[in-house]
Structure 1
Amino acid sequence: MNISTVFSADGALGKAISGFQPRDEQTMMAENVHQAIKEQSQLVVEAGTGTGKTFAYLAPALLSGKKTIVSTGSKNLQEQLFHRDLPLMKDALGFTGRIALLKGRANYLCLDRLSRQIVESHGHHSDPQLLTQLVKVRSWSSSTKSGDLGECEDLAEDSRIIPDITSNNENCLGKECPSFGDCFVFKARNKALEADLVVVNHHLFLADMAVKETGFGELLPEAEVFIFDEAHQIPDIASQYFGQSISSKQIADLAKDIEIGYRTEAKDMRQLQKVADKLVSSASEMRISLGEPGFRGNWRDALKNQKLQREMERLQDALQLCRDVLK
C-alpha cells in the first residue's frame, strides 16, 4: 500500500474517518517516516499542533511489517494511543497483527502483596477506610484480565494503598513468588514480547535501558523500529534513570516490609520490629539534618556538616544491622 495514497482524500483514512482532509505536512511526514524505516535511519520531526503526527507515524509503522515500539511522553497519551488512535488505524489499514500496551510494574496489582496487606490490615491499629479499599480491590482482582489498577474504578489514582499492593524491583519475588503463575506484570510482558507493535512510555523505556530487571529477564522486547512521541521530554526523564538516588521513603518502605514479615511470617523474631523502628528513626533524623525540603546542592559540600555526617553514620549502622538480622 502506497503511503501517499493512504493519506489521500479517497484513500484508507478518507474511507475510515468521516470528514478526513488530506494535509500536505502530514503526508510529507508519513513519507519521511516510511523512508527512515526502509533505510533503517534516524529521523527527527518537529511539527505544529494539528499536523496529525500520530497517524503520520502509525501508518508507515503498521504497514512496514516490522516489530515496532512506540514510546509516549505520558501514561494518558499512551492510553489514548492504544485505545483510540491505534484501533482506528488498524481498521483503516486492515492490519491484522497483534498490539500490546505495557506500563511500568507500579501500575499492576501484585496478588501476593494484596493478600499480605489484607492479613496485615486486620491488625489492632489498622485504618478501616484502607481495609474497605483493599476489599474492593480484591473483589475487582477476580474479574480483571490485565490487573492494570488504572481500570479499577473503585480506586482513586492517588490512593495510599497503591504502593502497598504493587511491586517494585526491590520487593518483587520473581519466580519465587507463590502467585507467579497469575502475575499480571509477567502476563503483560509476555503479551508485549509476542506483539507486533507495543505502546510504552518514556519512563518505562528508559528504566529498561538503565537496568534489565531481575526475575523477568528483559522487560522490553527487541524491536526493529522505535518511535518516540514527544521526544523533547527524553533528556529530563533520562537523567532520572541514569543517576542513582536514595530517599527516606525507600527506607521507610523497606522498614514496613520487614514489619509485615515479622507480623505474618516470622512472629518469633522480635528483633525484626526493632530493626524496622531503627531504620525509620535514623532515616527521618537524616532527612531533618538535611534542612528544608526541596533543598538542592552538592553532596560533597553537604557532608562537611558534622551533624549530617553523624546522621549518615547512624543510618549506615542501621542498614548494616538490618542486613545482619535479615541474614
Structure 2
Amino acid sequence: MSRVVVITGASSGIGRATAREFAGRGDRLVLAARSPETLAQVRDECRQVGAEVRDVPTDVTETGALDALAATAVAEFGRIDVWVHTAVVMAYGRFDQTPAAVFEQVVRTDLLAAAAAARAALRHFRSARRGTLILTGSVLGHVTAPYLGAYVTSKWGLHGLSRVLRQESRDLPGVQVCLITPGSVDTPVYRQAANYAGRIGRPPLPITTPERVARAVVDCADRPRREISVGRLNLIMRVAFTALPGLYDVLVGPLMRLGGLTDRPVPPTEGVVFRPHPAGEAVRGGWLPDLPGLLRSVGDTAASAGAAAGRRLRRRLASRPATPGSGARASTR
C-alpha cells in the first residue's frame, strides 16, 4: 500500500530529489516549500510518474505553519505515514561579522522549524501509534568548521533533539525518529547562502549527489534506523575531531578556506535566508559534472567521428581506379 509522505523543503536540493524518489515508488506526497512557482514544478515532476501530489506553499518559520501543513495532509489523504524535513538555509561569515538577524534566522529555519515539524508529526504519530519522522542533519552536527557558525549551531542542536525524541518515543514501538547525516552534497544551497565571508561558498570534496541522499531517505523510510551517514569522509572527520582536537582545530581553518570557499568574490548578501530565489532552485548545484550528459556528448561525438570516417573511406574507395584484370579474376572465383 502506498504511503502518505510529507516533505518540507521540497523545492530544491535534497528535498526535491527525495520527492522524486518517493514519487517513483508510488507514494502519495504532500510537498511544502516557500516558493509556489518552484513547488508547482516539483508537483508536476512527481505527477508525471503517476504519484498523487498536493503542493502546499509553506514558510516553515511561521508560527503554526507546520501544524497547518499536517492538517492539510490528513484532510487530503487521511493520515501521515512519513514526515521528511529537509528545509535549510546557510550563512557564510565569521560569527562577529554575520548580522545577528541573519544568524538567528538560520537557527530559526534549520533548528526551530525542524523542532516545529517534529512536534506536528509526532503529535499525529502518537495518536496513530505509528509513523516515521526523518530529519536531515549534517556531518557538521558532529564536527565544526569556521565561517558556518549559525549552520553548525543548528545542526548540533538538531542532532541532540533527534536523540531526545528517540528517547521520549520508546513507549511507542511503531514510531521511529531517524536522522540522515550527509557530508558535502551537490545542491544549490551554497550559492543561495547568505554570505559575509567575501567569497562564494562551495561544498568541500568529496561531493555526493542529492539523489544518493534521497535514496538513503527512502531506504530509511522502508527500514528505519537511528542515523544514516552519507559521505565517504564523514567517519574520518568525526574521529579526527574527537581523537585529535588540537590538530583538527589547526587544520580546519586553512582547509575550509581552501576547499569550502571559492576564489570568486561576493558582496555581503542575505541570500535566501529571509526570502526564496526561485530561479536558483534545482536538484543539483552544478558542483559535480553531469556524467550522463557527458557520456551522451562523448557518444554523440564518437558516432559523428565514426560516420565522418566512414564517409571518407567510402569516397576513397569510390575514387580508386580499378585494378586491371580484377573483373576476370573475380569471375573465376
Bin of the TM-score, shorter chain as denominator length: under 0.3
Q: Normalising by the residue count of structure 2, what TM-score does the alignment of the two structures yield?
A: 0.27
Flag the structure with higher strand content: 2
Flag the structure with higher helix content: 1
Q: Normalising by the residue count of structure 1, what TM-score does the alignment of the two structures yield?
A: 0.27
Whose radius of gyration is greater, 1 or 2? 2
